[in-house]
Amino acid sequence: MAAYWGAQLLGGLVGAGLASLLSLEALALGTPKAASGGAFLAEVLGTFLLVLVILVAVHQRLAWGGFVIGLAVTMAALAFGALSVASINPARWLAPALLSGRLEEAWIYLPAPLVGGALAAWVHGLLLRAR
């Protein structure tokens, strides 16, 4: 798990660094500002839905799993984008935030996706046991 997290953060740092080379505003655009007090809940729910879809798609070996997962990301962005920019991935937020020095909203974008992912894993386990 630590290797996966490290790879996610490294990938985010490389991506944010390359984006900043293309545009001076890229880091500011890549470090979302929460639009409301509901941003934490939006990140939890968005990540919950995405991770639950991923778990079901992988467990069921869905032929269209990639499409369904992409659709879940799109739906999260549409549903929660106005509240939190639907980052739904700590590394996606952290990399540009570290490079730009804008860490004031870490309390939203770091723990909320972890909570959402853990809840999704728990619910998926309940669904499997209920079968």
Q: What is the pLDDT along the chain (131 residues), one digit of tens a residue?
A: 789 889 998 998 998 889 888 887 877 777 777 767 799 999 999 999 999 999 999 999 999 999 999 999 999 999 998 888 888 988 888 888 888 888 888 899 999 999 999 999 999 999 999 88
* Tokens of residue 55, six digits: 């778990």
Q: Residue 25: count other Cβ atoms within 10 Å of its Cβ.
A: 10
* Tokens of residue 7, six digits: 């790879």
Domain range list for the chain: 32-90+97-130
The answer to whether 88 and 47 have CB atoms below 8 angstroms apart is yes
DSSP state at residue 11? H
Into which CATH architecture does domain 32-90+97-130 fall?
Up-down Bundle (1.20)
The answer to whether 35 and 108 have CB atoms below 8 angstroms apart is no
Residue with tokens 């879809």, as numbered in its chain: 53
* Tokens of residue 75, six digits: 């739906």
